[in-house]
Chain A
Amino acid sequence: METPYLNTPPPPEELGAMTRGNIEAALAGESQASQKYLAFAAVARDEGYPNVARLFEAVAYAESTHARNHLSVLGEIGTTAENLKAAWGGETFEIDEMYPSYRAVAKLQENESAQTTIRYALKAEMDHQEIYDSTLKGVEGKKDFDESAVYVCPVCGHTVIGKRPGYCSQCYTDGSYFREF
């Protein structure tokens, strides 16, 4: 029982290098577990195990709370302006360095599916980079993002603001499959 901290995630603290490294590794582990369980839930539902699917989703959510707690201790939850900057920075690294390097290796090694999944991600990160950039400018002028719908392709992650597209410009999936936020 830890009543003094009731109902709050653990706050940031000054971390020794070893502990910081461990919390970062734990954040990576929890994030991957959460995402895996969501994928496993979809499989369970397809196989006719709706209750196993629900269990996977609940546990995925539990891992998300752990990821959030670790992120909080690391001091990586800032104001929205700071968070948009961090998000933009992550997308930029993926576009400028990470995915081009990975794509080059997958091409060299003639791994076709790997090239496809890398291309899908790279293209969508470009959408995200631009969206975060313009949203950050709005927030710096104290403006919320407007009320436009956001559509996401459930195959490749292509992200569109405004109108539902007829089909996905990256992977040609029919627009009716796009998920609206």
Chain B
Amino acid sequence: MDPGLEKRLPKSEDLKAMTRESLAAAFAGESQAAEKYLVFAEQAEDEGLPQIARLFRAISFAETQHARNHLRVMGGIGATADNLKAAFDGEAFEVDEMYPAYEEIAVTQEQAQAKRSLRFARKAETDHKWMYEQARERALEGKDVDEQPVSVCVVCGHTVIGDLPDKCPVCAAAKEYYRTF
């Protein structure tokens, strides 16, 4: 980030427990608002309202700045090697505990679509976990990861480094539905 902007952002500080709790809740709220507005932008586009779609994207970007600011104040943004560890831990929790527990309940309650949405996420988080693990090993040696394309299935979030599969192995979407970074 531009150093002129960096110095203007709220700094991390020693937080009392109640204030920390407030910021953690505000971070959750801003994050969800930012994601919802991106989805609402797609919906507006489908309805032939491109200007409203643009407006939703702009406001989503504003919420992203709030989320980042709250996270900074909580001390949640570190050096890249630390960030990769935090990201790995989050994925590991989702893969090992959260999604299996949620899926079990969705099966018990016979909720087919909920189960599908949970499974899509769990499958992708499994990929993310090892990608973060490998990237962290490189970062600890002061090295970047290789310059390979990273592609994401627009339907289920399946994430693949390098060549694209013909079809998504998780949801069977065609190759054309991947977005490449």
Contact = CB atoms under 8 A, between A and B. Distances in A.
B61 A139 contact: no
Contact of A124 (B38, B62, B102): B62
B114 A15 contact: yes
A44 B101 CA distance: 33
Interface of A: 1-3, 5-13, 15-16, 18-19, 22-23, 25-40, 42-44, 46-52, 54-59, 61-73, 76-80, 83-84, 86-87, 90, 94, 98-99, 101-102, 105-106, 109, 111-114, 116-118, 120-121, 124, 128, 131-132, 135, 139, 144-147, 150-159, 171, 173-174, 177, 179, 181
* Interface size range of chain B in the complex: 35 or more
A36 B35 contact: no
A173 B6 CA distance: 11
Given A156-B69, A157-B63, 5 more contacts: A22-B105, A52-B138, A52-B139, A55-B145, A59-B150
B36 A38 contact: no
B98 to A, nearest CB: 7
B66 A19 contact: no
Contacts, number: 368
B116 to A, nearest CB: 5
Q: Which label, helix, strand, loop or mixed, suits the secondary structure of the A interface? A: helix
Contacts of B14: 111
B165 interface: no
Contacts of B150: 54-55, 58-59
Contacts of A84: 40, 52
